[in-house]
Amino acid sequence: MLLRNGTIERIFSISTSKNPPSCQADSYGTPLGLHALGDKIGADAPLGMVFKGRVATGQHFSECSIDAQQRNLITTRIIRLRGLEAGHNSGAGCDSYERYIYIHGTNHEARIGVPFSGGCIELRNSDMAELFDCVDEGDLIWIGD
């Protein structure tokens, strides 16, 4: 949910990791705890744009090969998370930023609401664009179980 001044402005349906929540490197679990918005990437990209290495590919996910479309692609926008709890989601072996944990759009919108990701938080592409426009670098993000 998006909170502003203690008021719920919007609730988004999301998907998290298909693995149990975890802050450990290589766990592919969604990390819990307090995070800050580290980077905003893709501000002007069209909905469904695929990103690789945090760079827009120039392709909408529907233009990708059938094999690529089977995978969980990073689409529309990226919000990269920075853990704020030393030894939990920040630091050696558990750092959310170093693990490349994002909030991002997906090419599998029908799976939103079902755990499916490799650790990231996924939204429908239109929701991702809306959220992206509502937040700023440094804003706080709480990921609870």
- Within-domain flag for 2: no
- Label residue 18 exposed, middle or buried (CB < 10 Å: 0-12, 13-18, 19+): middle
| pLDDT tens, residue order, the chain (145 aa) | 999 999 999 999 999 999 999 999 999 999 999 999 999 999 999 999 999 999 999 999 999 999 999 999 999 999 999 999 999 999 999 999 999 999 999 999 999 999 999 999 999 999 999 999 999 999 999 999 7
Residues 6+ apart with CB under 8 A from 144: 32
CATH number at residue 34: 2.40.440
- Within-domain flag for 53: yes
- Within-domain flag for 19: yes
- Within-domain flag for 4: no
- Label residue 68 exposed, middle or buried (CB < 10 Å: 0-12, 13-18, 19+): middle
Domains of the chain: total = 1
Distance spanning both ends of the chain, measured CA to CA: 14
Question: Which structural domain, as residue segments, surrounds residue 105?
Answer: 14-143
- Within-domain flag for 101: yes
